[in-house]
Structures are given as structure tokens and as C-alpha cells.
Amino acid sequence: MLVSILSCGKGSGGGDNGGGGSTLPAAAITDVSQERSSSGNTYSFTVSLTKVATSEVSVNYATTAGTAAENTDYTPVSGTLKIAANSSSGTITVQVKGDSTRKDNQFFNVMLSTPVNCTLSDDKGVGEIVNVNGLYLAVDNKGYDAPGSYPGYNLAWSDEFSGKAVNTDNWSFESGNNNGWGNAELENYTDRTQNAFVSNGNLIIEARKESFGGFQYTSARMITKDKRKFTYGRVDIRAKTPTTQGIWPALWMLGNNISQVSWPACGEIDIMEQLGQESSRNYGTLHWGPNTAGHVSKGGNVVLAAGYDKEFHVYSVVWKTDTMQFLVDNVLYYEVPFSLIAGTNPFTLDQFFIFNIAVGGNWPGAPNNTTVFPQRMFVDYIRVYQ
């Protein structure tokens, strides 16, 4: 707060503020921080006196722009606030205009001046417009798009994320840190719209740097377990992925029997994994084995063109009875024949989908002073053909 002590002399209507034994009350204005709504908000700033006024007190006020713009983000006001004798506070209201866009927070100021029968101990109130939780985010949709059909396949299931919220018939949220999810991850997964929401035809998963539940980062981890599960076919997921140190986006699958046989016996299919600091490399991997001591993985990677993170790409697997193929933008870059699997092959049973952004972990490492937050993964659709 900017502190300004302005005294009222006898000529400005002040009482005895000197040796007469009487002191004037001091006025201070509060700050206000509110979530912005789509229909607009009223911000109420309280001006409080340090003691009850013995005569009417007045102060002039006027809004000034900060990062919020007059008439675009709020309606400017000015005038004189009068606090009646035997009262100790008054209110100044400012109308903030409606907007549901997710963006940086903004602020404006309410400045006090020209006190009468009081002094000013705090003459600036800051109005913070909280935009970071808005549920609309425009997305540049350019990039590769998959065909709507393939010879010999029928569409078995899809989520086009065209509604107003995550479809809970398809998805559940996993929450907490769960001891780092086996990877020493640093985030706290939540089911809040701050971390996962649907806007403009896309699912958006957002990783944030914020203190929540004893952890310093939040994100979302969504699963289709026991809701949408499949064996064999082609999976296409159109997504735009984040890039920065310590960020680990993934689109993947686990065996629906994981609760019975545990990992890796359930099998794992990593359709897309990327490391934020490796700004153009995509990984596709299979994991299996009877137990963690017998864990086996086979995978490959492909380097994408510079600037790949500015566009959507389609990450795919073609899951056959004898092999798993990994593709980006319909180009095959790696294949695992199931003849490599000794013992029980878990890829003959149903798997469910997982979408998440991890923060930190053994593989990407922790965020550092180059890491930028928030980071977002956009998913246009997921389509399963059989």
C-alpha cells in the first residue's frame, strides 16, 4: 500500500488537530480481490476510520487504470465519499465488466484525496480482477488433423470435447500426490476446473505453480478406468503439448485389471510422452513384466519439426493381435512385435486411457528458474476405431 499522511487544517474544514487535545480520525481504504464473472461484478471498497467521527468526514475518490483498462475491464468512477458523524466507515463501489476468458489477473486503483475532518493513512485501494480461473480460452486450431475414417475400421468411441464440461460418463479424476505416483512427481492432482476444463471444443489440462494441499504445483490426471476400455484397434488423439523444463505431458493407457495384478503385469501403452526441455521429441513405449523386478520396456522416439508445440499433432497407436505400432501425424516411427514378450502378454486384455501433465519426476527433473507457468495441454479429440 502507498501510505500518504494528509492533514486537514482549519481552512479545509478540519477541527483542532494541534495543541487543543483533539486528533482527527485517520481514513484507510481496503484492497479488493474477486473472481471475475461472465456477467460482471461489483467491487466494494471499504473506507474505515481509526475512530468514530464526531462530525461528518469526507474524502474525494477516483479510479485509475493499472493493467485493467477503463471502460473495457471496469467502469471508471469518481466523486466524494461522506461518512456521517458517529460512523466509522463508508463504501465505494466499482463495476467490473463481465468476461470469462482465462488470462492473467488485472488490477485498477481507487485513489483517495482531499480529506475533510480526517487524515489519510492509506490513500490507494487496489482492485484485483481474478481472471486466471476463467472457463473460456481461445485456441489456434492449426496443425495436422486425422481423417474421420480408415478402411476396415469402424469408430467404436470418441470424445470430441465439444460440451461445456468434462464428460463424467467417460472420465474420472485421480487426485493427490500418491507418493509421487511412482515417479517422484511434485504436483498435487485435483479435480478443479483450475486444472482441467473444456473450452472452445478442447479439453485443457493446466499445470500451475501454486501452494495446494501441501504441494507447490497442481495439475490434473484423468482416467477412463471402468468407463471406457478397449482391446485392439486404432487410437487417434489430436493434441497440442506444453514445453518447459520439468513438465511431463502424457497420453497413455493401463490395463483395466491393474487393481488385481498391479503394474507392470497389467501392461502400459504410452501413446505420447514428452519432456518439456526436449522441445521436439515424442516417445512411444510399451511396459510389461510379471512384477517390478521383472519390468521390461520397449520404445522409440521421433524428432518433430521445430515449432511443433505451436500446432496440433495426432498421436496414434495401431494395436493388432501381434504388434503395436506408434505413429505421429499418421507416420509410423516405431513398432513392437509381441513376439518379444516372454511369458504372459498383457496386451490381449482391455486397457483404459490416462491424460495428465506431471510436474517434475525422475525422468524430466524438477522445474527450475527457466520454467514458465501455467503450462497447458490441449486435446481436440480422442477416437478409437476397431
CA distance 334 to 351: 20
pLDDT of residue 187: 98
Same fold, 10-130 and 155-385: no
Long-range contacts of 297-301 (CB under 8 A, 24+ apart): 298/336, 298/340, 299/270, 299/334, 299/336, 300/326, 300/333, 300/334, 301/333, 301/334
Candidates 100, 108, 104, 38; CA nearest to 71 is: 108
Q: Cβ distance 296 to 345 under 8 Å?
A: no
Tell me the three state secondary structure of residue 104. Answer: coil
pLDDT given at position 247? 97
Question: Can you give the pLDDT at residue 107?
Answer: 98
Which secondary-structure segment (H or E) carries 376?
A: strand 375-385
- Give me Rg for the CA atoms of the chain: 29
Helix (H, G, I), strand (E, B) or coil at 346: helix
CATH T-level topology, domain 155-385: Jelly Rolls (2.60.120)
Q: What is the pLDDT along the chain (386 residues), one digit of tens a residue?
A: 333 333 333 233 344 443 334 699 999 999 999 999 999 999 999 999 999 989 999 999 999 999 999 999 999 999 999 999 999 999 999 999 999 999 999 999 999 999 999 999 999 999 999 999 999 999 999 999 999 999 999 999 999 999 999 999 999 999 999 999 999 999 999 999 999 999 999 999 999 999 999 999 999 999 999 999 999 999 999 999 999 999 999 999 999 999 999 999 999 999 999 998 886 899 999 999 999 999 999 999 999 887 888 899 999 999 999 999 999 999 999 999 999 999 999 999 999 999 999 999 999 999 999 999 999 999 999 999 99
User: 242 to each of 33, 64, 285, 310, how far by Cα in Å?
Assistant: 29, 36, 20, 9
Instruction: Determine the Cα angle at 123 with ends 118 and 128, to 5°.
Output: 140
- What was the pLDDT predicted at 42? 98
Q: Are the C-beta atoms of 351 and 255 separated by less than 8 Å? A: yes
Find out whether 233 and 269 touch, Cβ atoms under 8 Å: no
Q: How far apart are CA 336 and CA 327, in angstroms?
A: 12
Phi, psi dihedrals of residue 85, rounded to the nearest 5°: -55, 145
In three-state form (DSSP H/G/I as H, E/B as E, the rest C), the secondary structure along 172-217 is EEECECHHHHHCCECEEECCCCCCEEEECCEEEEEEEEEEECCEEE
Q: How far apart are CA 173 and CA 354, in angstroms?
A: 10
User: For residue 280, what pLDDT is reported?
Assistant: 82
How far apart CA 301 and CA 320 sit, in angstroms, is 20
Per-domain residue ranges of the chain: 10-130, 155-385
User: For the segment 50-96, what is each residue's pLDDT rounded down to a tens digit?
Assistant: 999 899 999 999 999 999 999 999 999 999 999 999 999 999 999 99
pLDDT value at position 305?
84
> What pLDDT score was predicted for residue 323?
98
Q: Are 354 and 253 in contact (CB under 8 A)?
A: yes
Identity at 20, one-letter amino acid code = G
| Superfamily (CATH) of domain 10-130 | CalX-beta domain (2.60.40.2030)
pLDDT of residue 18: 35
Active site residues: 268, 273
